[in-house]
A and B are shown apart, each in its own frame.
Chain A
Amino acid sequence: MFISYLLSGVSLGAIYALIALGYTMVYGIAKMLNFAHGDVIMVGGYVAFTLSVTLGGSAWVAIIGSIVFCTLVGIVIEKVAYKPLRSASKLAVLITAIGVSYFLQNLALLIFGSNSRNFQSLVSIPVISIGQATVPGETIVTIGVSILIVIGLMLFINKSKSGAAMLAVSEDRGAAELMGINVNKTISLTFAIGSGLAAIAGILMCSQYPMIGPYTGQMPGIKAFIAAVFGGIGSIPGAMIGGVVIGIIENLSKAYISSQLSDAITFVILILTLVIKPTGLFGKKLKEKV
């Protein structure tokens, strides 16, 4: 039993990790907490749902359509809501982000109604049994996809030119601009990648827990943020490890302590992390300049 709890924890954690990557990249580069990120997951889920169930498309059409749509949503959100506030106070940006999150939720509520819909899994891999434990195909796909994405993302950031531009902007936006890096384009790219990952996370999540509603993205979004903070915000391996740790803790506490208290336990971990080591596991220490 323990093994299967652990594995489903890892797979939940892999989903959190994918979402956390978006948070951590946006936070590192645009220096803002994109509260609407969790709701992009929900958008991705709904698009895949519409394409596969309502319109009867194949799984691949649904997956690619959902990723493309979310990427565009991410870019539009950044251009419309966040770009005008580049120079504004953090409080203003944060409230705007909450507004965007609220907007996406209520738009989904108007279009799809408040009832949760049944999501048909887009993964067609049968259940595999390892010893006594049985592992659903979704779990294996989720873990595999997440590992591939993290490796790909690390390669992209460390080897490609756009990746180097991202690193430069996250380090010092002003200096990067002086070096001829197009900051607006880099930030847009970050939002695009983050939102595309959120779409994948949304599809994987809805395949594993086959329900989708307007608030589906809210809690996973917040938990993924906790994962990003736990791993150290701005760090990609940190987001991955943080996500997996939070996923395992959540699943084990659901199984062995109390299913109602598992959220509270995750939140306590966040508060403890911030009190004891605000920079997280892999975060860099920032010094405040006067």
Chain B
Amino acid sequence: MKNKKTDVSAGVLKTIGFKSTAGNKIITILIPILFFGICQMLVSYGVLGSLFEGLLVPLCFYIIMAVSLNLTVGILGELSLGHAGFMCVGAYVGGIFSFITQETITSPWIRFPLAILIGGLAAAIFGLLIGIPILRLSGDYLAIVTLAFGEIVKNIMQNIYLAKDINGLHFSFATAIDPAKLDMATKVDILKGPMALKGVPRDANLIVALVLVVITLIVILNLIDSRTGRAIMSIRDNRIAAESSGINITKYKLIVFGLSAFFAGVAGVLASHYNMVTEAKKFDYNTSILILVFVVLGGLGKMRGTIIATILLYALPELLRGLQSYRMLVYAIVLIVMMIVNNNPWFIEQRKRLKAFLFKNKKAEMEEN
């Protein structure tokens, strides 16, 4: 079934005039660039208000989150419910790094890329860490472990106490730092348990965010199109067949979890360098589900669809404030209906019929011409 779907989309592209996958990829990458370019233009001409301008960077990190989650859910075929946990790791690690080094590394052009790298790598390490239990698991159990993991990360982050003084850094877990150990005159609190992380330099802006979106897309699209990507998809389609063809499942699962966590971490760094306040409780199960909704509605394994779905589902309801209270309810209904329409045998049959019907009409038209 999945193969047929890709055949259809490839066929459509061929008819429009794109034969190579490179062209295909370029279109996908151009969509966010064009979208944000047009938005920025409209904002600078005053067509769109500052409210909309404030949505653009968050939209960028949601796109990175959704695309990287689609790598796990759509390409590898394993449900991850703890994606926000990786974002949380990135946000905190990257944010703390920038906070500490903002006096020593004054140029944001050096500091921010370093923060991105460190935050992303920290999240990737967590991704590999969770990779160890998941190697024995799949399906429902894996989903619940990722959920548990996301909540553990959130809980840990809410229990860290970190302060800086003339003697260096002071760290404490679960209990506040002993004031006797601190030099009160030069003390700066970085993290105070459940309190939010504040004072991270605001290094992120729309250009930087857009560059990160493009880098994410280039890496993930090329990965999918490579030998590695095909190996990953073969695990999704039939694990046993893939294993007996000599594909190392452990290796590829770890690659996907590591990479997907890395980009979620990058999105987190972006978030903590854009938002004034970073709160661990924002990166909870519900955020993970929200991103999953973007991925499912955009199409599992379809990066372009994910980008469009994220833009539509994130930006539109934020603008139509009146719909705000119904938004989540509508998401839930759409999620259920989409799953049933895409997976129920009766609906699949009807869709095939409809397609055959439309296709026949087109053929008849062409013959007339």
Residues of A within 8 A of B (CB): 27, 32-33, 81, 84-85, 87-96, 98-100, 102-103, 105-107, 109-110, 218, 222, 225-226, 229, 258, 260-261, 263-264, 267-268, 270-271, 274-275, 278, 290
Contact = CB atoms under 8 A, between A and B. Distances in A.
B79 interface: yes
A102 B344 contact: no
Interface residues of B, number: 50
Contacts of A271: 133, 145, 148-149
B340 A102 contact: no
Nearest to B347: A84
B140 interface: yes
B336 to A, nearest CB: 4
Interface string B73-109: 1000101010000000000000000000000000000
Given A95-B79, A96-B340, A261-B159, A278 B145 contact: no
A226 B335 CA distance: 25
Query: Looking at chain A's contact residues, is the secondary structure mostly helix, strand, loop, or mixed?
Result: helix
Nearest to B156: A264
A222 B147 contact: yes
B4 to A, nearest CB: 15
B174 interface: yes
B343 A88 contact: yes
Interface in B207-241: 240
Interface stretch (B62-70, B326-334, B357-365): B326-334
Given A102-B331, A263-B155, A270 B139 contact: no
Interface in B308-349: 325-326, 328-329, 331-333, 335-336, 339-340, 342-347
B194 A106 contact: no
Contact of A267 (B151, B293, B335): B151
A270 B335 contact: no
A87 B1 CA distance: 14
B77 A274 contact: no
B144 A33 contact: yes
B154 to A, nearest CB: 9
A271 B129 CA distance: 12
Given A103-B329, A109-B328, A278 B137 contact: yes
A34 to B, nearest CB: 10
B133 A274 contact: yes
B257 interface: no
B159 A92 contact: no
A67 to B, nearest CB: 25
Given A274-B137, A275-B133, A99 B332 contact: yes
The 4 closest A-B pairs by CB, nearest first: A99-B335, A103-B332, A88-B343, A267-B148
Given A260-B155, A270-B148, A110 B335 contact: no
B336 A225 contact: no
B328 A258 contact: no
B344 A94 contact: no
A225 B81 CA distance: 15
Given A102-B289, A267-B149, A267-B151, A33 B143 contact: yes
B139 A90 contact: yes
